[in-house]
Structure formats: C-alpha cells, structure tokens
Structure 1
C-alpha cells in the first residue's frame, strides 16, 4: 500500500501500480504526475464520489479499482481512457451506469453490490467483454444488445430481480461460468435435503487453526465432540454476511447441502446451530494435507483463465482420473438440479494419484430437474467450463497418452467448447467417453 505523503513527495515516480486507501474524499491531482508509467490505479476503500474529467491524461491506465467508496454513478470520464480494459466499482451506491462511462477496450467490469436497475445499450457494444459481474443489484432485465458479446465467458447475475433468463443469453457461444442464484427465477433449494442435514451445536465444536479464507467465509480446523463417540477432526466453515462477487454466502451453503454425497465432492457433516452470534456455518470433512489446489485464480492479465504453476505436469493416468472425477461430480450436481457455476481448476483439490475434489459452491445456482431446453442449455454452459479444464489438463500431460487417445480427447474437448450450446454433449455422455479411455 502506498501513502499520500509518498505521492506528494514525488517518491513514486515511475511506478506502474498505485494503491491508496487513506480516507480520500477527493482525487489527488498528484496522481497525474505518474501519467507516463501508471497502468493500475487502486483507490478502493476511500470516500470518493467522483473522478476528474481529465482522467484520460493517464494514457497508460489499463485497470481502475474504486470499490468501497461512495459513487452513485459510474464516472463518465472512464469512457475516455483509451487503454482502460478493467473497471471495478464493487460496494458503492451506484444507481446509474452511463453508456459514456464504458471505454472501447472494456474486457472486465465489476459492479457487484450496488443499486443498479438499468444497464445501457452500449454495454453490448464492447466486443472484448469477457467478465461481467453484476451480483447484488436491482436488475430485472439485461439489454438485448448483450447478445452481441460473443467473447463473454463469465457472468454473475446473483441476487438481483430477474424473473427469467433471456433465450439469447443461454445461446451466447463463449458463456462458460454463469451464476444467477437469489433471483425470483431460481428454483428453490431442495427443502428435504436441507431439513435432513444434521444439526451440530456450536458447543460441540472446538476451533483450532485457520485453514483458509475466501470471499464467502473462513475455514478452520476443528475437533467435533459427540456423546459416546470418539472426537473427530473436521473442517468448519463460518459464512460471512456480505455479498460476494458470486452472490449470497447462504445460497452457497444451501447448494453445498443439497449437492449430497459424491466421492469427488467435499462431504458435509452438518449445519452449525446455536452459534453465539447466530453465524451460519457448516461442518465438513477435513481434507488430507496431501491435497492441493490444481491451479491459482485468474490474474489481472489472464482475466478468465486460471494460472497454473510453471512445473505443473501429469501422467495420462492422473489427468484422466481427475477428468473422470470432475465430470462425474458435475453429472451428479446436474441430476440434483444444481449448476456449480465456477467449475475451475482453482476450485479443485488434487493429489499425486489423481484423486480430486470439486469445492467452492459460491457460484452455484438451482434449476429444474426436468429436461427442458432451458435446463439443457444451463447444463451445457457448464460443459464448456469442463471443456476448458480438459484442455488445460491435456496441455500438461507429459507421458502415457497414446496418439489415439489424444485425438479422441481433443475431439471431446472441442465438442464441449463448440459455439452451438445445445450441440455440446451432456455430462452423462462425457463420463461414458472418459471411462473408455
């Protein structure tokens, strides 16, 4: 984190990224002294409500973050920034998004947790758009112009006011990760599964070290003590109350429960009750430390693609075991009326044998279990996510894959990612094909 004193003293000359969070109510004009080098400007966590009209003087500016401020309108000056491709204004008070605020090279737009009820037609005239994050607003419909966004891959619509998803949206050729939980259109979670989940009193749990923290909650190692049974080591996830980029943490919890049991899903032991602050939480199986994340989150540059460690390589047997496991888990979820919404390598835990677990249900949404054109399209959107993953695995196989199997798997990968959504195979077919390899 940089300081205002450093900026004013000229100590930051030549930097490419500036991070200022110091209660700013006005844009510091000294930032323009960095115009020759500044590419990333992060002013999140201040009290700003406007940006200067001449922001375009920052000619190298590619990325602007102004989350957790007091904007009521997306600043029109952003649209004049010729190199700007990523804009993040999460958790403001934005009600209006002028078309003029959208720069021509816009690729990634984050407007999560605002008060937006309308989006401009111009949003569909930004052909490079890949990620659009709109959860936690007041939207009832999308501009039909968005059907022109043939590169749009990730779309977050959770916790809005949609009563239906337009047909053209489900036919977008590149749409891969879609979340729409918490809208009137969504099928409810299976009440039977929720009611059948055991209740685990908070007093029976003894929290130990923190294992991790994400946007939706914090995970701790814990000991679970039960009468006349040996103490059990478990993981406890306590959910935060705030809106995340994917949607409501409570929707995530319901999806975890409704998903049920599958060898490639993290097992839920029960729901926490009687927490002193009434915090929602789940008790889950403790994952063996031999498991690790398959990849890292997408970077600012990779946008919608995970970042793998340079040395990540697999044998064919390990890669195919993971592909079969994740395809089988996705098939199971679809049978329960759930789309994962975030089927990504960074949400997969794996070990050297190819055992794997699909986690993080933050982007999960419910749909009808009947076979309709809409449910088929929703499921085939997720098939494209699997196709991306399969391609990433194939790229990293270093041994053991025959030429015939590679040809067959590359053909399967192409069919999963083809532009015609309804022509993609379903997960039942994918599982059958993988089991033949």
Structure 2
C-alpha cells in the first residue's frame, strides 16, 4: 500500500524524487516552444540538458545569474535567434566557433558582464541585428565588427572605449549607435557612410567636435546627443553640414508634436549642454 501511494500521489516540487520529472517537463517545454527562460536562478553554468533540445531552440534568456563561461555545445544551436545573457560574470563573449555556426542569431545581449574584448569572429554573425554589450570593460571594438552587415542597433555604452573603429562605417543597415559614458575623444569620419543612421548617442564622453562627414553623410540622422561632452554649441552649429542636420532634427520634432506626443518642459533638445549663467543678484 505504501509503495502505491509513493508512486501515485503527486510530489512537491522541492522533493528530490520529483527533480527528474520536473527536469523532463522543462526539457519538453523547451523543445515545444523553442524558448528557454532561466533568469534569476543563481546558475553558475548553463544546464547540459539544453543540448538535447538544441535543434528546436530559438530563444535563450539566462540573465541575472552567475555564469562565468559559456559551454562549447552552445555552438550547435544553429537555429538560435536570440541570446540574452545580461547581468552575469562572463569574461568571454562567445565560445570558439560560434561566429560561423550560430548562423540564425539576430540578437545578442551581454550587458553588465566582465568582458574586456569582443572576439574577431563576432563579425561572422551575418544576421545579427542587435548587439548590446553595455556595462562591460571594453577598451576597443574589433575591426571585424564591420562585417555585421545586418546590424541595426549597437549599444556599447558604459564601457571604457577610447575609439570607435572606422570599420563601423561598413555596417550599412545601422540605425542606432549608443556609445554613451565611455572615454571617446573623437567621432570617426567613416561613420558618415551610415546612410540609415537615425540616432547617435555619445553623452558623457570627451568629444570636442563632430566631423562634417557625419553631418553631411548620415542623411537619416535626426538625433545627435552630446550632453556631458566638452563640445560647445556654437562650434557645433558652425560645423559644415549642421544646417542640413538641424533641418532633419526639427522635422522630427514637428512630427512628434503633430502626433500629439507630450514632451514636458524639455522642448526641442539641442543635443549639447549650454553653460548656464549664474543668477543676477
């Protein structure tokens, strides 16, 4: 009688005897939906059981864990489209061989890890549309990043970048570049090749000037943010190409107002800081 009850009655999830069953259920769910949700579980490594569902997996989100490395079997997930690993302790962005084998990857999020560099093979991710590595320890981006021909959004804010590579100008589909809070002293003129670039965020850097090539060449640019930089508004306005950029910026603002959006008291953001005179006594 005792054995029958032991087998037939449902077990609590924290019962050690229930773990194989729970694990099986989880693997079946992964294989059925293609989605792996492993956020906030204190994981030190990705479970090996992921490999059994590899052909079906499209999304993995293992953010806010304690991952220090990625397993070699990750490169077998040829159908993976989104890989989100923010808030871990990773020092290597991808396992060796991932560039040539994760051929379906469209989104890679590695914010708030311990990365000091990105591998050259990242440029092999030809379908990658969004790359976010904010809050790491990057001092440079590899020239191979120019190979990301499908890239639409690049977020590299809160790092220690001293330069941006000229090769970024080859990312022809790039629409958004966020490099706020780095140590950049200049904007590469090569970014002027980015005809689809709409938003360039460079707040809190050491930038003194904007190349005319960017203002002229980035014909879709509507948002240029340089708050917290030493550039002077008058110098920016006197830069060749600023008039054309300013017309686009104002056009965007007018469309927002026409659409009924509320902007509070900010109005049209100039994108740079003006020195505020002390109040008169």
Q: Give the TM-score band, short-chain normalised.
A: 0.5 to 0.7
Partners of 1:34 and 1:2 lie apart in 2 by 17
- From the superposition, tell whether residues 175 and 147 of structure 1 become closer, same or farther in structure 2 (CA, over 3 Å): same
* Other structure's SS at 1:155 match: strand
Task: Count residues in correspondence.
Answer: 212
| Structure 1 position 181, deviation (Å) | 0.3
1:15 aligns with 2:51: no
Which residue in the other structure is 2:231 paired with? 185
Q: Deviations over 1:185-234 (max 9, x none)?
A: 14xxxxxxxxxxxxxxxxxxxxxxxxxxxxxxxxxxxxxxxxxxxxxxxx
Shift of 1:125: 1.4
Instruction: Tell me by how many angstroms 1:387 deviates.
Output: 5.6
1:294-317, Cα deviation, whole Å (9 max, x unpaired): xxxxxxxxxxxxxxxxxxxxxxxx
Q: CA deviation at 1:137?
A: 0.7
Q: 1:2 maps to what in 2? A: 38
Residue aligning to 1:31: 74
Partner Cα separation in structure 1 for residue 103 and residue 201 of structure 2: 30
TM-score by length of 2: 0.67
Q: Distance in 2 between matches of 1:157 and 1:12?
A: 39
What's 2:29 paired with? none
User: Structure 1: which 5+ residue stretches go unaligned?
Assistant: 187-366, 395-437
Distance 2:246 2:222 in 1: 10
Describe how 1:213-362 pairs up with structure 2 within 5 A.
none
TM-superposed CA distance for 1:155, in Å, is 0.5
Give the Cα separation in 1 of the matches to 2:103 and 2:252.
35
In the aligned structure 1, how far is the partner of 2:230 from the partner of 2:90?
33
Question: In the aligned structure 2, how far is the partner of 1:149 from the partner of 1:376?
Answer: 18
Q: Distance in 1 between matches of 2:249 and 2:133?
A: 27
What displacement does 1:7 show?
4.7
> Could you tell me which residue of structure 2 aligns to residue 385 of structure 1?
252
The answer to whether the aligner puts 1:78 opposite 2:122 as a matched pair is yes
Alpha-carbon offset, residue 27 of structure 1: 1.1
Is the 1:75–1:101 contact (alpha carbons within 8 Å) kept by the matching residues of 2? no
Q: Measured at CA, do residues 69 and 138 of structure 1 come closer, stay the same or move farther in structure 2, by a change above 3 Å?
A: same
- State the distance in 2 between where 1:371 and 1:96 align: 30
CA distance in 2, matches of 1:121, 1:166: 13
Structure 2: runs of 5+ lacking an equivalent: 1-36, 40-45, 261-281
Paired residue for 1:213?
none
| Secondary structure of the corresponding residue to residue 10 of structure 1 | helix
Distance change (3 Å), C-alpha of 1:140 and 1:372: closer
CA distance in 2, matches of 1:10, 1:371: 58
Shift of 1:368: 4.7
Q: Cα distance 1:9–1:373, how it changes in 2: closer, same or farther (>3 A)?
A: closer
Distance 1:46 1:381, change over 3 A: same
Higher-Rg member (1/2): 2
In the alignment, is residue 100 of structure 1 matched against residue 144 of structure 2? yes
Q: CA RMSD in A?
A: 2.8
Higher relative contact order (CA 8 A, sep 6+): 1
Answer whether contact 2:195 2:220 (CA < 8 A) is retained. yes
1:136 and 2:181 aligned: yes
- Partner in structure 2 of residue 232 of structure 1: none
Structure 1: distance between partners of 2:124 and 2:75: 15
Counterparts of 2:112 and 2:257 in 1: how far apart (Å)?
Answer: 37
The structure in which a higher percent of residues are strand is: 1
Quote the residue 1:243 is aligned against.
none
